[in-house]
Amino acid sequence: MHVNPAEILYWSTMLASILSAAAGVLDARGKQFDLFGVMIIAFCAALGGGTLRDVILDRPVFWVKDSSYLVFTWLGAILTFYLARWIKLSSRWFVVPDAIALGLYTVAGTHAALVLGNDWLVASFMGVITGVAGGILRDILLNQEPLVFQGPLYATASWAGSVLFIILFHQKTDPVAATVAAGILIAMVRLLAVRWNLVLPRYREKQH
Amino acid sequence: MHVNPAEILYWSTMLASILSAAAGVLDARGKQFDLFGVMIIAFCAALGGGTLRDVILDRPVFWVKDSSYLVFTWLGAILTFYLARWIKLSSRWFVVPDAIALGLYTVAGTHAALVLGNDWLVASFMGVITGVAGGILRDILLNQEPLVFQGPLYATASWAGSVLFIILFHQKTDPVAATVAAGILIAMVRLLAVRWNLVLPRYREKQH
Amino acid sequence: MHVNPAEILYWSTMLASILSAAAGVLDARGKQFDLFGVMIIAFCAALGGGTLRDVILDRPVFWVKDSSYLVFTWLGAILTFYLARWIKLSSRWFVVPDAIALGLYTVAGTHAALVLGNDWLVASFMGVITGVAGGILRDILLNQEPLVFQGPLYATASWAGSVLFIILFHQKTDPVAATVAAGILIAMVRLLAVRWNLVLPRYREKQH
């Protein structure tokens, strides 16, 4: 049996959409949102970062070209919406899948910017946007301060992996190998940071 | 006297802009916004959904091409701003015009996506975005949880009418007839839901 | 020594990016944001308005084409982030640079819209968006009501200067002279309004 690496990546991203949507829905707990509201939260959490990337890079928006992303995102959202009534779902179950999704989204965003000929700073920023902007949009809709600014090395992990991918890309490394390497780096940094609660320096003005 | 259906639709949309702007301004009551703030709220409420649709579909933004939309939106906003100082305006007066505006915006958004060759899922989502995203942007600016996620069947009405329009569109129904049918369905579902307080299932996690 | 006016404008805009970023970072005081969060706030405050303008006008986003904007914005952000730990920085120091930045951004946005052939209403609105939307995005991320809607003639100054620039542009005035005139008008109106606390009429419904 022959397996196409591009197809593995494609279906991994779909799986990431389902999981990000589910995690986004769990974050809306406590708010009295209706089913539609939950679907919009899931859309932002799962597809918002990539949408922003495509709009800024003036590419066709990915889910407009391929609506399977909408199907899988909303499947994940509706399932979680009803499951959460019967089963006590824990946000902690999503830490590992979320770290993997962060890796996949970051690499996809970085790659999209690189093939358009952007320099490393723009490409790595687009990778981070693709990885984390969905969570920021979700928190804006939930009317709360973006958690991603406070969590353990979320954006930092994304950025480090993006830079690794850019280096490997310019050295003409096999794309699959580069994706796996950068993805693993991102997921590892994020999970180790969660495990040992590593955070970036916080902003605190000297008190007088 | 001959009346062009396209012109009726055009002026209906302008009227919808005025009314959405007025309703948006009333929603800003209680916030200490100045005239400029009120104009931005009105802009988001009336034209925000269509702007998002055009950016995502990579079409020229409609009010950049035809600035009459800005003129009518701000006319509605400024009038309401000053009228509200003298007359007790009630948000309830806007329920019927708002339901009609929801219908017009949804059909316009769905049609724009269909003529670009998008599939039904993308087209109906763009219809809903055009219809409801303005209200979401308004609530984000007002720093409150989006009401559209909690109200009676707002987005659901929009989506149902959008799907009806798509079916009629693919059956090559006369565009005016399809617009009227979908618009009436949206306004009716919305108004009946408001009347009997029909809502989508709310999100509530099982308590332990 | 020959100095190119276009280069002066270019470096002025870079300086404006540093100062807007620094002011944006100071606004985040009291929130427990980490370094990455502060960099995103700075990005929105300094480059958010221009990004929105470019997306709406369907132009290539300026900092994607020239990543120096990112470099200078983040330089300003990181410096302020660390300086604020040791020195008591005051927001008041930024009132004058901020007024000048408002002028530069507004003129740049108006000019970009005019050369694409837009009418005066769209061009002046794009000028205002370029000047003030960054501050609105910053406040949305900080989860607070946009200050720009309440401050002394912030958007009004921007709009007045934009209209002056449009008049001079259509009279084929030398672009540098038009930029300086409009920029000075904007900074003066803003600073005088701050000095004497001039504000637009506030929104207040008549009490019954």
pLDDT of residue C65: 93
Angle between helix B35-57 and B5-27 (nearest 10): 130
Which residues, other chains included, contact B33 with Cβ-Cβ below 8 Å and sequence gap of 6+? Answer: B41, C149, C150, C202, C203
Q: Measure the CA–CA gap between C87 and C80, rounded to whole angstroms.
A: 10
Chain B, 45 to 84: residues with Cβ < 8 Å from chain A are 55-58
pLDDT band for C206, please (50, 70, 90 cuts): very low
Arithmetic mean of pLDDT, B18-36: 82
Q: Residue B56: pLDDT above 60?
A: yes
Which residues, other chains included, contact A103 with Cβ-Cβ below 8 Å and sequence gap of 6+? Answer: A161, A182, A183, A184, A185, A186, A187
Q: Name the DSSP class of A4.
A: -
Of C28, C36, C85, the CB nearest to A200: C36
Domain range annotation of chain B = 5-196
Q: Residue B4: pLDDT above 80?
A: no
Q: Name the DSSP class of B2.
A: -
pLDDT of residue B140: 87
pLDDT of residue C204: 58
pLDDT of residue A27: 79
Arithmetic mean of pLDDT, B68-97: 84
pLDDT of residue A189: 92
Total-model pTM: 0.90
Most distant CA atoms of chain C, gap in Å: 69
Q: Residue C75: pLDDT above 90?
A: yes
Here the tokens at position A71 are 């199907």
pLDDT of residue C32: 72
pLDDT of residue C175: 85
Arithmetic mean of pLDDT, B84-94: 74
pLDDT of residue A165: 96
User: For the ranges A18-22, A28-32, B48-52, B201-205, which has the lowest average pLDDT?
Assistant: B201-205
pLDDT of residue A3: 64
pLDDT of residue B2: 62
Q: Measure the CA–CA gap between B42 and B25, rounded to whole angstroms.
A: 6
More confident residue, B179 or B205: B179
Q: What is the pLDDT of residues A93-130, one digit of tens each?
A: 778 888 888 999 999 999 999 999 999 999 999 999 99
Buried b (16+ CB within 10 A) or exposed e, A19-41: bbbbbbbbbbeebebbbbbbbbb
Q: Which residues from B are below 8 Å from A84, CB to CB? A: 203, 205-206
Q: What is the pLDDT of residues C105-134, one digit of tens each?
A: 999 999 999 999 999 999 999 999 999 999
pLDDT of residue A141: 86
Q: Using alpha carbons only, how large is chain C's radius of gyration in Å?
A: 17
Looking at the complex, does the CB of residue C34 fall below 8 Å from at least one CB of chain A?
yes
Here the tokens at position A165 are 């991918």
As a residue count, chain A comes to: 208
pLDDT band for C48, please (50, 70, 90 cuts): very high
Inter-CA distances, A121 with A54, A187, B62, C14, Å: 17, 21, 33, 17
Closest C-alpha to C27, from A154, A205, A130: A205
Nearest-Cα residue of chain A relative to residue C54? A56
Residues linked to residue A202 through DSSP beta bridges, in sequence order: C34
pLDDT of residue B168: 95
Q: Residue B92: pLDDT above 90?
A: no
- Nearest CA distance, C142 vs chain A (angstrom): 6
Looking at the complex, does the CB of residue A31 fall below 8 Å from at least one CB of chain B?
yes
Residues lower than pLDDT 50 in chain A: 205-208
Predicted-complex ipTM score:
0.86
pLDDT of residue B182: 95
pLDDT band for C63, please (50, 70, 90 cuts): very high
pLDDT band for B188, please (50, 70, 90 cuts): very high
pLDDT of residue A204: 57
pLDDT band for C12, please (50, 70, 90 cuts): confident
Q: Measure the CA–CA gap between B179 and B166, rounded to whole angstroms.
A: 10
Of A32, A64, A67, the CB nearest to B150: A32
Q: Which residues from C are below 8 Å from B143, CB to CB? A: 140, 143-145
pLDDT of residue C3: 64
* Percent over 90 (pLDDT), chain C: 47
Which contiguous run of DSSP H or E holds residue C170?
A: helix C154-170
* Percent over 70 (pLDDT), chain B: 93
More confident residue, C88 or B21: B21
Here the tokens at position C123 are 């061009």
CB atoms A203 and C37 under 8 Å: yes
